[in-house]
Amino acid sequence: MGSITQDSLRLELVNISKQYPAVKANDSVNLRVEPGEIHAVLGENGAGKSTMMKMIYGAVRPDEGEIRWNGQAVNIRNPQEARALGISMVFQHFSLFDTLTAAENVWLGLDKSLTLAEVAQRMTKVEQEYGLEVDPQRPVHTLSVGERQRVEIVRALMTKPKCLILDEPTSVLTPQAVDKLFVVLRKLASEGTSILYISHKLDEIRALCHNCTVLRGGKVTGTVDPRLETNAGLSRLMIGAEPPQLQHIQARLGDVVLAVRGLTLPKEDHFGMNLSDIRFEVRAGEILGIAGVSGNGQQELMAALSGEDTRAPASSIHLFGKDISNHSPRRRRKEGLHFVPEERLGRGAVPTLSLAANTLLTRTEAVASSGWVRTKDVTTLAQELIRRFNVKTGGPDAAAKSLSGGNLQKFIVGREIHADPKLLIVSQPTWGVDVGAAAQIRGELLGLRDKGCALLIVSEELDELFEICDRLVVIAQGKVSPSVATSQATIEMIGEWMSGLWNKTVAKETDHAEA
């Protein structure tokens, strides 16, 4: 054991275990973080990363083991105590009040010895120091997602933490914003702040972190220097195997399946996004990807395409040349349009109902014309989906909520693929899905494309879009860019487009715009 370096460690976890009713989330894990170190915690969903962080932050208490802070054993009973020690955390889901200003939000999280004006002043100081510019007086709902994250980070930095925990901080950022964030984090580290960086994005970890602890199934499978590792090496530690390579056959383009023309739609609620004059086409046998930072109109566009929102103006959405703008989701499904929403529980599936019953949401083969449900057929269909798409579950009677995210996603994507759609629209196909399941889902989507189906895929993961799409468009501020063939696009260019700046590039390369 490194008893010599013990005193110089900022944070140490020794044989920490946490048992939840169904699962051992952390099984005797160890973690050693030095001052000024950017330490990655890598693992699939459900590997135990969040539990580990919650124990450090005092939100959950370990069953066994010891947490040492600057060499002293500590008992962190709640987040206040964690903050008092100098531990701050930036959560993946922002916890800001939309109607308050940035300064008011920061003020809420601090002890009340400071006035609001003082808080705003100190915010400005912190912001200048780290290049995190956000106007403290702006209401949060007017801020972009990247700016909101900056508010969260500024809030965390206000207490001058010695250890900053960041949970999947880049999932909502453009590549350029990620670079900016890394600059800030490196500066913080150089001043002696330890940073715990939770992620499953291998490239980022290799670019940023000094050290990396890999978790799998609640256990530490390795602590490595990510700068010396390959993606394959890290991924082996994370999932125990390398993700299978995808077969990518040249696209055989068919007719135009989906044509969106002049789709303009005012937002339905206060915090939505207006869609303005959206136009694009998807042909049979190709995958069109929609890139973009979340909250730029993806939700609204998906609702208009799926039929959940039928306010789209007449003749703005065509399926095989037929105007479907005001058709209901059921009618669109009959016409061959199937959709996989990003929320699995509560939208793509009813949490408390069985998998068998959940097939009935979009599949009506087992419903007789009289409206009678042939329960045997329903069960058979569910069994078939479970078998074909390799869903790990107790069986067709298992409640949807009892499945892990990846398995439920396989089931839902499988349910729509199995319906033999002519156009499949998928929103965030692998969000929160582990690497193995993600590879399987991507493979299934490619297989469907090769059979001549048209696919439209919305994802925030650029790597994923580049991996499976034939063409890309970018959505920003409710507008959609012209399309570009994936082979001619670069991450940098798409990243720039994600900020809405495509007119420059397009003017230069009009020829390439339409593939």
Partner 1 sequence: MLKLEARPEASKVMSVMSPVLALAVTVVIGTVLFVLLGKDPMRGLYVFFVEPVKSVYALTELAVKATPLILIALGLAVCFRSNVWNIGAEGQFIVGGIAAAGVAMTADKETGRWIVALVLLAGVFGGMVWAGIVAFLRDRFNANEILVSLMLVYVADQVLGYMVYGPWKDPAGFNFPQTITFLKSTSVPKLFPGFRVNIGLILALIAVAAFWVLLFRTYAGFQLQVGGLAPAAARYAGFSSRRALWTALLLSGGMAGLAGALEVAGPLGQLTPYVPAGYGFAAIIVAYVGRLHPVGIVFSAILMSMFYIGGELAQSRLGLPKSLTGVFQGLLLFTLLACDTLIHYRVRWQAARPAPPKPAAAALVSTAAAATTERAA
Site string for partner 1, 131-150 (x = CB under 8 A): ----------x---------
233 binds partner 1 (CB under 8 A): no
Q: Does 511 bind partner 1 (CB under 8 A)?
A: no
Which residues make beta-bridge pairs with 473? Answer: 290
Choose one: 292-300, 312-320, 455-463, 492-500; the region binding partner 1 (CB under 8 A). 292-300
Q: Does residue 269 belong to the site contacting partner 1 (CB under 8 A)?
A: yes
Residue 265 vs 349, nearer CB to partner 1 = 349
Structure tokens at 276: 């303005």
Interaction between residue 96 and partner 1 (CB under 8 A)? yes
Rule CB under 8 A: is residue 477 a binding residue for partner 1?
no
Distance in Å, CB of 100 to partner 1, minimum: 9
Could you say which of 102, 237, 349, 417 contacts partner 1 (CB under 8 A)?
349
Interacting residue with partner 1 among 43, 46, 48, 58 (CB under 8 A): 58
Residue 322: beta bridge partners?
319
Question: What 8-state DSSP symbol labels residue 218?
Answer: T
Which residue in 250, 251, 261, 412 sits closest to 323, CA to CA? 261
Which window, 201-209, 345-353, 417-425, 428-436, contacts partner 1 (CB under 8 A)?
A: 345-353
Part in contact with partner 1 (CB under 8 A); list of ranges 75-83, 203-211, 236-244, 432-440: 75-83
Between 280 and 339, name the residue whose CB sits nearer to partner 1.
339
- Residue 331 CB, shortest distance to partner 1, in Å, is 8
If one asks whether residue 306 binds partner 1 (CB under 8 A), the answer comes out as yes
C-alpha–C-alpha distance, residues 305 and 491, integer Å:
27
Decide if residue 348 touches partner 1 (CB under 8 A): yes
Minimum CB separation from partner 1 for residue 109, in Å? Answer: 5
Task: Provide, rounded to whole angstroms, the least separation between the CB of residue 480 and partner 1.
Answer: 20
Task: List residues bridging with 291 in a β-sheet.
Answer: 474
Binds partner 1 (CB under 8 A): choice among 135, 268, 281, 308: 308
Which of 351, 443, 447, 500: binder of partner 1 (CB under 8 A)? 351
Candidates 307, 421, 429, 482: give the one binding partner 1 (CB under 8 A). 307
Q: What region does 321 belong to: left with phi over 0, alpha with psi -120 to 50, or beta?
A: left
Which of 14, 114, 184, 399 lies at the binding interface for partner 1 (CB under 8 A)?
A: 399
Quick check: 292 binds partner 1 (CB under 8 A)?
no
Output DSSP code: residue 387: H
Residue 150: name the closest of 183, 117, 118, 121 by CA: 183
Binding residue for partner 1, selected from 73, 97, 115, 397, defined by CB under 8 A: 97
* The residue type at 405: G
- Specify the stretch interacting with partner 1 by CB under 8 A; choose among 92-100, 199-207, 242-250, 418-426: 92-100
First to last CA, the chain: 60
300 CB-side CA count, 13 A: 27
From the list 208, 193, 109, the residue with the least C-alpha distance to 151 is 109
We find the least distance from the C-beta atom of residue 325 to partner 1, in angstroms, to be 15
Contact between 377 and partner 1 by CB under 8 A: the answer reads no
Token pair for 399: 């409640």
CB-based contacts of 350: which residues, under 8 Å, 6+ apart? Answer: 357, 358, 361, 400
Picking from 311, 341, 293, 310, the residue whose alpha carbon sits closest to that of residue 477 is: 293
Does the footprint of partner 1 cover residue 61 (CB under 8 A)?
yes
Q: Alpha helices, DSSP H only, in 230-339?
A: 231-239, 298-306, 329-334
Please state the closest distance from residue 192 (CB atom) to partner 1, in A. Answer: 25
Tell me: does residue 113 bind partner 1 (CB under 8 A).
Answer: no
Task: State the DSSP code for 481.
Answer: P
> Which residue, 407, 495, 473, is CA-closest to 170?
495
Among 361, 501, 506, 513, binds partner 1 (CB under 8 A): 361
CA-CA distance, 484 to 184, in Å (whole number)?
A: 32
Regarding 65 and contact with partner 1 (CB under 8 A), the answer is no
CA distance 466 to 175: 14
410: tokens are: 């396989």
Question: Residue 352 interacts with partner 1 (CB under 8 A)?
Answer: yes
CA 410 to chain centre: 16
Nearer to partner 1, 256 or 360 (CB): 360
Q: Binding segment for partner 1 among 327-335, 385-393, 428-436, 497-505 (CB under 8 A)?
A: 327-335
Task: Provide the mask over 17-56, with x wherever binding to partner 1 is found by CB under 8 A and - wherever it is not.
Answer: ----xx----------------------------------
CA 98 to chain CA centroid, Å, is 21
Characterize the bridge pairing of strands 87-90 and 163-167. parallel
Instruction: Please report, as residue ranges, which positions from 419 to 458 form the binding site for partner 1 (by CB under 8 A).
Output: none
| Residue 411: partners with Cβ closer than 8 Å, 6 or more residues away | 349, 355, 358, 385, 386, 389, 391, 393, 400, 403
Number of residues that make up the chain: 515
- For residue 11, list its beta bridge partners: 33, 69
Contact call for residue 114 and partner 1 (CB under 8 A): no
* 120: amino acid identity, one letter: A
Q: Which residue, 272 or 447, is less far from partner 1 as judged by CB?
A: 272
> With binding defined as CB under 8 A, does residue 182 bind partner 1?
no
Query: Interface residues with partner 1 (CB under 8 A)?
Result: 21-22, 58-59, 61, 77-80, 91, 93-98, 105, 108-109, 141, 269-271, 294-295, 299, 306-308, 328-333, 339, 341, 343, 346-353, 357, 360-362, 364, 367, 371-373, 375, 399, 402
